[in-house]
Structure 1
């Protein structure tokens, strides 16, 4: 895949990830919809949109679509989505996204370490720089009142998303696999009906936000992410996602009336610097003994 195309598709996927944080916070902050119904609608609408993409664009037979996907990957997707929704009840847009993708980084790099991967000096410096950007923003936000339950739930969501990313790294047909994973995750999510509000009590705005999250930000975004994922190294895939919290933070400023602060701008600049260092680094393919 040409570099410009890869960069463009990766950027669109990251914007979709950030949109999920903004849409989720918009829906849940004002109690337009409860976390259980938001998760269900998000997964079901995402599955339906991906089925249409697989049928009409990818020309996949319906039997192949139904049989695609893997249960372990689908379970990781479900855990991510459930913890994400319940975590955002008590976290603002920027803090939630920061915790989420910090956990993603820790998960992916920890797995790489367990597999014996060694990082070049430039990659290590880039990671350290990017994490410094995280700390610049996350520590003041936590001191301003983010609840520990929200922090734990969003951390769990990030661990699950890291697992989901790693499990899809070698996908041969990424769109088909993503479709199957969403179908299975939606099925696994059905018990949420028993702990969610009656559907008639959910606002129309909340329903629309959940569907937008499912069809556009989740279905389309995840399909793109699985498409570019095999072309990225584990380090590049992990660190590229560090841009998402900054995008989500600015989305929160625009759509959820979050405050644009000097700390937010500093964090963004530091994170981008770290990303550029990792992307520019020569990959170190050696293993530790």
Structure 2
């Protein structure tokens, strides 16, 4: 027991010593142990870019922000900025970061998550492909013909996104919040989290939520809108759709303040209709 205590004290002293050296060098973020102590430093790198037609991103333990601007650029900030690789070739922008910080160490800031900010001019991308193993995603004023967005763990917040051809959104653990979006033939899949959509236009939209509520408000719906919730409520506000195919295995169905038994069908073959299934939860359409 005494030997363990001595080793623990020694490790602490060495870690603090490295932290002091790092602080004198400037920009120390943490001291970690990865086959020996090493100092993890904060930094910022900005890459100015030319024309971007397609964006492919694959990162781990990183928050990502995608916004519109006049000059295309990528700014990487936080610890170990050089671990994030940025490459632009023939109009295809590729961003990758597969390394993560060691879990054992001495942290001196509350949040040392790397951050990638991508600025793109307001032109329609041919393809948007984003994969975040762990981290939050924020998108504002972006247009793409096709979009594939996958999150392993984190929240997805979107304001003013247009997908004209087709798309797919997936989030294993976290919420998806969409506002002022225009989506055509997009599918959504959430394993654990809430899906919220407001002030948007959806055409041929389908979403499956394994555990969490689905809330769509003040949104124009066209074509067949399919929503499946395994555990959670489904609520739509200000919907002008007249065709319904609604089924609640364990929950109530309410359409414009009128209660209905399950299944409930009204103009079930209408070109514009809602097809909603809830295994455990209510369906409420206002």
Give the TM-score band, short-chain normalised.
under 0.3
Q: Larger C-alpha radius of gyration, 1 or 2?
A: 2
Greater helix fraction, Structure 1 or Structure 2: 1
Greater strand fraction, Structure 1 or Structure 2: 2
Higher relative contact order (CA 8 A, sep 6+): 1
Normalising by structure 1, report the TM-score. Answer: 0.18
